[in-house]
Amino acid sequence: MAFLIAGFAFLLHRNVIAALMMALAVAIGAHGVFMLGEFRQEPVRAQNAKPLLRFLSFNIMGNNGPGGPRIADYIIGSGADVVFIQESAPIGPEIDRIKAVYPYRLGCGAKTITCDQSLWSKRPFLRGEVFTASPIYRDRLMLASIDFDGRVVNFANVHLTKPYFDNFHEIELAQVARRLEAYSGPMVLAGDFNASILLSDIRAFLRRTGLRTAETEPNTWPVALPLIGMAIDHVFTRGGVKIASLERIPDPIGSNHYGLISEIVWDE
């Protein structure tokens, strides 16, 4: 966008300053692409990768009550093995339907008094914990370990405050990183970070934890401008698990975020 504006200015006034502005816009854009690539995972080695699980993460928006039944339908029919929901209140009335397919959960009454964050699984938890990492919101960090036919994978469901709320974003990331230290080995961490991975505190968090993202991240917000929006909802992995595919769900179902569906493989 900055390059287009600078290019338009150059067409109006062909001078050295306009040309320098175009060059600067290109340099800034190239630097941003480089920064985005810094935390991409190593390519999946097809000859060694084995399908492991299907995964869904979705901020459904807390006041999206009318969308609750349709969101529950989507979760049930998604085929996901593990589901992360942020701002879960709209599906609170649908819990009995969802737990028929996903009998194991954290949140919405399971180890919480809130129905904000929730983590759902078709398989039992070897370990499941709920923490408060935020000075503002409670129960927005959920950690679980699940056995997939002899391969134990750790999961972390995260929802961070917006990065312009003082330094709360940085505080929350530090708390999440500290809690992850008790969960060594393969991990899938996902959720609503309310920021892209260009942000300095997210980059520091990824360096500290060793988590990596897919080759490309779909824009998830705002839903009205998907082509020029931002990737502020993320899926990260580390250890023996990698992201084979990462896509937006086709319909936000009344939310202001797109959900993400991904195929996770075990890469030997």
Per-residue pLDDT reduced to its tens digit, 14-60:
666 655 665 555 444 444 454 456 799 988 887 788 999 999 999 99
pLDDT tens track for 50-62: 999 999 999 999 9
146, 153 Cβ separation under 8 angstroms: yes
By percentage, how much of the chain surpasses pLDDT 90? 78
Token pair belonging to 70: 């349709």
Tell me which of 227 and 150 has the higher pLDDT: 150
By percentage, how much of the chain surpasses pLDDT 70? 86
Q: Which pLDDT value is given to residue 32?
A: 46
Q: Which pLDDT value is given to residue 258?
A: 98
> Measured between alpha carbons, how far is 26 from 183 in angstroms, rounded to an integer?
41
Topology of the domain covering 45-267: Deoxyribonuclease I; Chain A (3.60.10)
Q: Which pLDDT value is given to residue 54?
A: 98
Q: Who contacts 90 (Cβ-Cβ below 8 Å, separation ≥6)?
A: 60, 61, 62, 63, 64, 65, 67, 68, 71
| Count of CA atoms in the C-beta half-sphere (13 A) of 90 | 23
> Measured between alpha carbons, how far is 3 from 203 in angstroms, rounded to an integer?
25
Q: Which pLDDT value is given to residue 236?
A: 98
Using the structure block, give the residue that is written with the tokens 């929802």. 159
Taking 80 as the threshold, does the pLDDT of residue 131 lie above it? yes
pLDDT tens track for 200-239: 999 999 999 999 999 999 999 999 988 889 999 999 999 9
Side chain identity, residue 267: D
Token pair belonging to 50: 């084995």
Q: Which pLDDT value is given to residue 31?
A: 40
Report the predicted TM-score, pTM, of the whole model to 2 decimal places: 0.88
- Indicate the domain borders of the chain: 1-37, 45-267
**Which residues make beta-bridge pairs with 145?**
127, 154
Q: Which pLDDT value is given to residue 48?
A: 80
